[in-house]
Chain A
């Protein structure tokens, strides 16, 4: 993923998945990292303390089927 795409991926998460508060204020954490080529947004909500990771789903695959 290129720098520009990574920048766009950083904007993937905008609201807390638990309480719905906006994560725009810098006191919330939205931190992008990469795991085996996938961009992951780690987020932490200042309002309710929830944290999670979000990955944009761009392709649906079922890898276990291949073992058949």
Chain B
């Protein structure tokens, strides 16, 4: 349980808020690179700001305020030009820094345009994602976390706009025991309703022990399930929550980042970034495309889609309320990871306020060639659990999921 003031401080991310300032120290993914291949603009809501991501005629990406400074028309409807984006209403042209370059209907001698500026932010592409940086200069490096740069894998990118605050989504990742309930017993109940056999489901073992350690890039989560001992990989290696907003999960056959990007206080852009790892000796075709898909929260009738793991998670996040009310929560000992994460958020916020870089702000090129994160692979002692149930995860919405599995098994490497 927290006080109301503390809940507000921890959840609010708009301009000028403490947590908003903390998030503005990080490169945040805002789109898949493929989204800007067949369209010129994408409307982006990020940390309470309305922005437009665009590609100019030279192919250069830009991220500027969505509202034209003249009379407020959405720049998402703008016209891409050689060196920027032009407002469709009266033709004002802006560059990637948000500087107004042209006002076609003002006198030739006018200097008015030099006084006009809208927000303009840095963008960079890595691993098929486009990242934005909204913070103070100098911008840090875009961290090259292992999955973004890993070779010989097949990637997929899933996304969802989740109508709730980012913090309750992150807290879910510090809450290992929900696995045996939400993705175990509850999943079996869904199977029961759908007439699918329940016994085969591998995730319902009881947690004997959970542990959390702060490390250089966040918090390592560990668990021991019934029937395991402390020398299992789930305990010895574990997997990390990368500060401030990314979960890494994986096994022999697939590794995944779940990135939670606060759009505003009540909406979160969620990305599932998955690398499927081929069997020993199998070469993935060069330039195999990264497929993009939406993971649905609800079906056509407005019911939560709960017959896949991420749909169950989303149901749990969203039904806590737009912003979970932590003044009425009743935490127990199994919630200690959540408390540790809250403390880490405030600790790193204190660094920002002292003028220091918080955790995971990287400026040393030598460190950034590839940042290898710890990851157990023999998951729950079952090995390639995730890839084995790729159709019970968000990845089932990738249109080419069957092909991906075939490629990774080595059955299609010649034909694709």
Contact = CB atoms under 8 A, between A and B. Distances in A.
Contacts of A49: 347, 350
A3 B329 CA distance: 9
Contacts of A29: 6, 339, 342-343, 346
Q: Which of A10, A27, A28 has the most CB of B within 10 A?
A: A27
Contacts of B328: 3
Contacts of A44: 343, 346-347
Given A26-B8, A51-B343, A33 B336 contact: yes
Given A7-B1, A44-B346, A44-B347, A34 B9 contact: no
B332 A34 contact: yes
Interface in B340-359: 342-343, 346-347, 349-350, 353
A60 B10 CA distance: 37
Nearest to A35: B333
B332 A30 contact: no
A-side interface size class: 20 to 34
Contact of B342 (A3, A7, A31): A31
A27 B9 contact: yes
A3 B346 CA distance: 26
A32 B332 CA distance: 9
A46 B1 contact: no
A26 B3 CA distance: 8
Nearest to A46: B350
Given A6-B330, A28-B346, A33 B335 contact: yes
Contacts of B10: 26
B18 A33 contact: no
Interface in A18-68: 26-36, 42, 44, 46, 49, 51
Contacts of B1: 6-7, 10, 31-33
Interface string B1-26: 11101101110000000100000000
B330 A34 contact: yes
B18 A27 contact: yes
Contacts of B327: 7
Contacts of A35: 332-333
Q: Which of B332, B335, B350 has the most CB of A within 10 A?
A: B350
A27 B331 contact: no
Nearest to B7: A26
B339 A33 contact: yes
Contacts of A7: 1, 327
Interface in B205-256: none
A36 B335 CA distance: 13
Interface in B54-105: none
Contacts of B339: 29, 31, 33, 42
A17 B364 CA distance: 37
A7 to B, nearest CB: 7
A42 B2 CA distance: 10
B36 to A, nearest CB: 39
23 contacts: A3-B330, A6-B1, A26-B3, A26-B9, A26-B10, A27-B346, A27-B350, A29-B6, A29-B342, A29-B343, A30-B2, A31-B2, A31-B342, A32-B1, A33-B1, A33-B332, A33-B333, A33-B336, A34-B333, A35-B332, A44-B346, A46-B350, A49-B350
5 smallest beta-carbon distances between A and B, as pairs: A33-B331, A26-B9, A32-B1, A26-B6, A26-B5
Interface of A: 3, 6-7, 10, 26-36, 42, 44, 46, 49, 51
Given A27-B9, A30-B3, 18 more contacts: A3-B328, A7-B327, A10-B1, A26-B6, A27-B346, A27-B349, A31-B2, A31-B331, A31-B339, A31-B342, A32-B1, A32-B2, A33-B333, A34-B330, A42-B343, A44-B343, A46-B350, A51-B343
